[in-house]
Structure 1
Amino acid sequence: MPSWHLVVSAELLALIASLYFTLTANHLFLNSALQGRDWGDHKTWLLAIALLLAITGIHTALFLILFSRRTAKPLLITLLVITAAASYYMNRYTVFFNGEMIRNILRTDFKEASELLSLDMLLHILLYAGVPIALLSRMHIAKRRWTRTLWIRPLCVIAAAVVTVAAVLPVFQDFSAMMRNQKEMRFLIMPGAYLTSFTRVLASDGKQAATGRISISEDARLGALWAHRSKPMLFVLVVGETTRAANWGLNGYARQTTPRLASLEGIINFPYATSCGTNTEVSVPCMFSPFGRHDYDEEKIRSHESLLHLIHRTGISTVWRDNQSGCKGVCDGLPMTHIDTSQKSPLCDGERCLDDILTEGMDTDIQRAPNGNVFVVLHQLGNHGPAYYKRYPPELRRFVPTCDTADLGKCTKEQIVNAYDNGVLGTDRMLASTIAYLKTQTHYDTAMLYLSDHGESLGEHGIFLHGLPYSIAPKEQTQIPMVMWMSSGFSSSFGINRDCISRRANQPISQDHLFHSLLGLLRIESKQYDPAWDAFKGCRA
């Protein structure tokens, strides 16, 4: 029996593909757009039909521009697979595919990405991409003279645009209000959202690569106080990962998830700290920038040097020790040590290392400093989800039962929270051991500051993980822990009143304060310093 095949034009294939994506990949967008509306009201039905037609019309026009007889099938196969995977994570974890999320995806290493793989995801892709790809394999794109395509294709694009406009006009008031008041919803439209965001990210990164980073440190210098200090300085900044304030023991959480820190003297806890973003790609560049969330401009932040470049310019040696996926550009051109996860160590399993590894071998980095003054950043793997159960050793598995899979859909909320809290115990142990290490460095004036890059959702409002657009992100993703410790020698030589900082700690503070507060704390003079954003301004002699 001869195998069957179907001959279709590229234009018809574009329409079929658009209809398919509209009906299978845009449930979250439609649910969000129509949430709370009365289905007994005919206006709700008009809006629903208008949205379906508009999504189909927009994608049809886009595909008509991209598709040709040679490119249609490979492009569509790629879109089917990516959209199936995207729709799975959108529906499972409420993911928005804006530029920030696309950057996260592009910067994610294989080990991190592999933790997101699951059997359910593969089955979802097989169903929503495998079946249409099998049907597509039986289709042939009709041959046509290019002269006919030259006038047929533009007419089809115009027709798709007319249908889109005609669909929206009768409900324009509702539609415009929705797009104005809920701008983030456009990042749920598949596959248009990730295609648009991907294009913008490439354009932005290409522009930055062509121009290079703009210096902010030409005038940076050490203040006069440095000439009177008797010891070199060792300052450790720990950049956490995915730890939220709500589960931080020192903040009054029902469970004591920070027992080691709670037992130490001299710990200053900041219970009202907030992040600059809801993902690492935003928060890390932002917290090391003089601009911050209050004057947020992503292109400006990424195109300028960071706090580390400024500190390095003064002669203080800087080093970034990384147990995650890099410094996100803030240490470009500066010394960086990436933890070798394949090393033979009880802290490593060949794929990941526990964060305690960050202080091992730090002596080597410190001893390279030509004048002895060192500023070290320890970038944690922290509590990065969804594989929370991999973020702590067996002896810290205190809260049970735990979710022992990266597929959170197979666990109860109690199991997820238990695994997460055990991970917080891991961060507590790592910070306490870092302070213990600094106490042994008696030939330095030492200090440590810890803050997480962002928080995490653990099922509140049906949301998991992190990365929602900042304007609609729940507090669980933006409220973070922050802790400080300094030796008596450090506070004395830099003229710091620790009691004053302890009192100041009970006021709101954000990652926007980091840049200016550290310049003030370390007595570094620069035109970039803004005293209005120095959280410790009134606590120095």
Structure 2
Amino acid sequence: MKSTAGKTPGSTRISTWTVSMSRPLLTLVVAVWLILFANLPFWRTIWSGINGWSNGNPGFIASLPLFALMWTFILLSVLAWGRLTKLVLAIALLVSAAVSYFMSSFGIVIDSDMLTNVLQTDPAEVRELITARMLGWIFVVGVLPALLLTRVRITRRSMGRELAMKLASVVIAAACIGGIAMTEYQSYASLFRNHREIRLMLTPSNLVSAVHSYVRSEFKTPVKLEVVGADAHRIREVGVNRRPRLTVVMVGETARAANFGLDGYKRNTSPELAREGVLNFTEVSSCGTATAVSVPCMFQDVGRDEYKPEYAKNREGLLDVLQRAGVGVLWRDNNSGCKGACDRVPTDDVSHLNLADFCANGECHDDALLSGLQDYINSIKDDTLVVLHMKGSHGPFYSKRYPATYGKFTPVCDSSQLDQCSRQSIVNAYDNSLLYTDHVVAETLRLLKHNQASFDTALIYLSDHGESLGEGGVYLHGLPYAMAPKEQTHIPMVIWLSEGIKDHDGIQGQCMAALENQPWSQDNLFHSVLDLMAVQTSVYRPELDMFHTCKAVNQASVMSVDSAARIN
């Protein structure tokens, strides 16, 4: 350590100090810090996965910190080169501190889907997450050690010797990993096989992997927009003068079936819908566990098994097909956007409107989605689909999602620091948000009923994904689908059909009621809406249409010669 001191006239004595280190040693020190202080969730999961001290294999237990340290050292060595070494290491410290905070506080893991979800979060949601506790955590775990890096003087060596030392240190670290893997192969194989989430928890390795996957997906060679349903057209019936069709699809946010009153929850969180005679489907699964995946996926025709993230921007969806067929389309948004699903159709963002009744502090409650909607309906002359993208129960600040008049369940967690609130207060705030969602959906339904004289109307409400409320120490959503708990994938779905649509299409109410407890998913939305809007296309799959089996036997429409020719 080198210390220097000096005096200037009229000033106090100023002391500075520096520490000399080689780049490999500095990288190793930072790796040790990250392993010790930025990976608490990782070590908790490891300790639980190996059954703690009862594991019976002290060699395996002792090797775990060394394995993680050597892996992190290699990663940092690959990223940090030359004069950028300290800058790269400082960034790694800061970012790792932020990642470790959210992993520790909410029980999340980091993969490309979670990174996408974070990058598409709007500024209002970001502000909700910034707390004194978060800033304190980042300061202690990230900022302080990053500042200490400024006091390190890198030992100067020739480029050749510098490269030789880096290569040698990486080879030694890799040899340690290889030796551990060979001697404890069975123990490690069992650990990673039974706890696949571990690879998504080691920081900053998980973040580097997520960034790599995200960049590879976002910046791959652009592809031409894939057209879907090029032959789409509306069925034109001969000699029938029917009313225009008006269907509203309400995309909820973060509503889970476990807390939905109509699905048997102990609290009546859906009292208004219960009085409206809706069809309630109790076994519905989402396409993903985050908005960035589920919203574009549910509007595609391929289903969850074949959906790819790039489809959100590079492939047409339901709204494109309907618009091509001549159906009017409008997307109204009170969330963070449609994630590609509405890129080529008219949109209306209500999330930043200055509506005194619904908006305050830069955020609008979901009643804002209905503001001016009747005026829009009055202008409709033909078949139309309206999508209302709700703010719903978006966490972690559930108590901000509803007006005070819907605060039925108390006390509530009035904070975004969920791990600092009692579980009951979290559930209370969340249930209040569902109570308000119930009101907004019911209000929309009543609006459609009011317009039945002019339109054949229908409403579909389904959430984009569910939510964890602290079960097993997990909060929010976004876990990889394969490891996500049911609370994040089991969602509510409600459908209401006017008598006009049921009579015209021959949809039998008793048949539909018999399907309420059957398994459904967001895969059914695309094909069911095509049916509701009387749109024919070769990509339509009747087996995924929720209404198909409940139509009167041999119910068919007589088409014009031109329409039949296009199909053939």
| Distance (whole Å) between structure 2 residues aligned to residue 168 and residue 227 of structure 1 | 76
From 63, 79, 88, the equivalent of 1:50 is 63
Residue 33 of structure 1: how far off its partner (Å): 2.8
Cα distance change on mapping 1:379 and 1:85 into 2, 3 Å: same
Q: Name the structure 2 match of 1:64.
A: 77
* Structure 1 unaligned residues grouped into runs of 5+: none
The amino acid of 1:136's aligned partner reads L
Q: Secondary structure at the match of 2:385?
A: strand
Return the TM-score normalized by structure 2.
Answer: 0.90
Rate the CA distance shift 1:493–1:134 in 2: closer, same or farther, 3 A. same
Match of 2:266 in 1: 254
Return the alpha-carbon distance in structure 2 between the equivalents of residues 261 and 226 of structure 1. Answer: 37
Query: Relative to structure 2, which stretch is displaced further, 346-355 or 22-31?
Result: 22-31
> Residue 493 of structure 2 aligns with which residue?
482
Tell me what 1:26 maps to: 39
Q: 1:350 aligns with which of 361, 367, 375?
A: 361
Q: Which runs of 5+ in 2 are unaligned?
A: 6-14, 553-568
Q: Which of 388, 391, 394 does residue 384 from structure 1 map onto? A: 394
Greater Rg over alpha carbons, structure: 2
Question: How does 1:456-475 map onto structure 2 within 5 Å?
Answer: 456-475=467-486
CA deviations 1:207-252 (Å, max 9, x no partner) are 27x1143111212222344983521111100000011111111122
Task: Return the alpha-carbon distance in structure 1 between the equivalents of residues 52 and 265 of structure 2.
Answer: 42
Q: Deviation string for 1:182-214 (max 9, x for gaps)? A: 323211110010111111111101127x11431
Deviations 1:351-384 (A, max 9, x none): 2101011011224555676x52211110000001
Q: Is the 8 A contact 1:416 1:458 kept in 2?
A: yes
One-letter identity of the residue aligned with 1:377: V
Q: Using a 3 Å threshold, how does the CA distance of structure 1 residues 336 and 53 change in structure 2: closer, same or farther?
A: same
Matched, 1:433 2:446: no
Question: Does 2:265 match 1:237?
Answer: no
The code of the aligned residue for 1:351 comes to: G
User: Of 419, 425, 431, which residue of structure 1 is paired with 2:429?
Assistant: 419
Instruction: Classify 1:366/1:52 alpha carbon distance in 2 versus 1 (closer, same or farther; 3 Å).
Output: farther
CA distance in 2, matches of 1:405, 1:483: 30
> Shift of the alpha carbon at 1:535?
2.3
Is 1:288–1:514's contact at 8 Å kept on the other side of the alignment? yes
Contact kept in structure 2, 1:294 and 1:512, CA below 8 Å: no
| Cα distance in structure 2, aligned partners of 1:368 and 1:7 | 74
SS of residue paired to 2:83: coil
Structure 1 segments of 4 or more deviating over 3 A? Answer: 36-45, 224-229, 294-303, 363-369
When residues 133 and 202 of structure 1 are mapped into structure 2, their CA distance, relative to the original with a 3 A threshold, is: same
Q: For 2:461, give the aligned amino acid.
A: Y
Query: How far does the alpha carbon of each residue in 1:135-167 deviate from its partner, in whole angstroms, 9 at most, with x for none?
Result: 212112233322322333223322222222222
Task: Give me the identity figure in percent.
Answer: 38
The CA deviation at 1:36 is 5.1
Match of 1:511 in 2: 522
- Partner amino acid for 2:121? T
> What per-residue deviation string (whole Å, max 9, x for no partner) do you get for residues 108-148 of structure 1?
11111111122211111111112212321211223332232
SS in 2 for 1:470: coil
Aligned pairs for 1:176-325 within 5 A: 176-207=189-220, 210-225=222-237, 228-264=240-276, 266-299=277-310, 303-325=314-336
Residue type of the alignment partner of 1:31: R
Deviations 1:370-410 (A, max 9, x none): x5221111000000111111111111111111111222233
Alignment match, 1:401: 411
Contact map agreement 2:335 2:351 (CA 8 A) in 1: no
The match for 2:563 is none
TM-score for both structures, normalised by structure 1: 0.94
Deviations 1:249-291 (A, max 9, x none): 1122211111111122x31111121211111112112211222
Matches within 5 A, 1:442-453: 442-453=453-464
Which residue does 1:105 correspond to in 2? 118
Of residues 141, 161, 173, the one that matches 1:128 is 141
Residues 196 and 232 from structure 1, CA distance in 2 versus in 1: closer, same or farther, beyond 3 angstroms? same
Q: Distance in 2 between matches of 1:387 and 1:164?
A: 43
Q: Is 282-291 or 524-533 further displaced after alignment?
A: 524-533
Distance 1:228 1:44 in 2: 78
Alignment size in residue pairs:
538
CA–CA separation in structure 2 for the residues paired with 1:368 and 1:123: 54
In 2, the alpha carbon distance for the partners of 1:187 and 1:107 equals: 20
Q: Distance in 1 between matches of 2:111 and 2:128?
A: 22
SS in 2 for 1:392: coil
Q: Distance in 2 between matches of 1:306 and 1:48?
A: 51
Equivalent residue of 1:96, what SS? coil
Contact 2:312–2:339 (Cα < 8 Å) also in 1: no
Amino acid at match of 2:138: I
Q: Which amino acid aligns with 2:180?
A: A
Paired AA for residue 383 in structure 2: N
What residue number does 1:145 align with?
158
Q: Once structures 1 and 2 are overlaid, which stretch shifts more, 439-448 or 139-148? A: 139-148
CA contact (8 A) 1:383 1:391 kept: yes
Following superposition, the deviation at residue 453 of structure 1 comes to: 0.7
Q: Using a 3 Å threshold, how does the CA distance of structure 1 residues 38 and 226 change in structure 2: closer, same or farther?
A: farther
What RMSD, in angstroms, separates the aligned Cα atoms of the two structures?
A: 2.1
Counterpart pick for 1:92 among 97, 100, 105? 105
